[in-house]
Amino acid sequence: MDLSAKKPEVENGFLLGLEKATLQPMPPPYAWRITKYDPSLRNSHGHYLIDEWTSFSDIGKTYGGKTLTYEKDLLVESAYSYSALCFLNDAEIPSLQVSELENNRLSRVKAEELRDIDFDPRSLEVGLVVNERDLEDVVRLNLREIIWCKLIETENFYLHFGWDYYIYIGSISPSLPAISYARRNGLFVEEMISPYLYQDDA
């Protein structure tokens, strides 16, 4: 998404002038990209300059002289999932709804990919309400690329997933405690609108 593009017009709380002719609800006022990648290690084009693991399937491979273990991956996943919960709690939102879903990889998922996940990914469907208890596992399912989905709470909150351990959050809350938590747990929080916000992923 070109964030330097001309700001769209607003009419009665809705955005106009987007690619689609339909009106789109206004996004939440605060938005971030959250990753495990240090922005100081990117070049001027935003490309990451360090050889870094980017997938659950990288477990067992060596990066920077260190072998990625399942335990290390699980620790990073926990930082993401607990941070997402913190953002949700800061906004005083108890649950999110699945607004888009891709799950055509489920038939090929191996048992080890579901390790430490109690939530059944087969139960996910568009419109399903995901509560705080299940959100941790849904975040893990996305990070492991077992499923892909968008989670929303009307125009108040969104949680989007990109490839390579990128997540995007939009919220009605400035979420300073959640930002602090994420940073203390090794994640980098940058102000950025989700590139999936108005993308047609169907």
pLDDT along the chain (202 residues), means of 10: 40 42 71 97 90 96 96 98 98 97 94 96 97 97 97 96 97 98 98 87 41
Q: What local confidence, expressed as pLDDT, does residue 5 receive? A: 38
CA–CA distance, 187 with 174 (Å, rounded to integer): 17
Strand pairing partners for 171? 30, 157
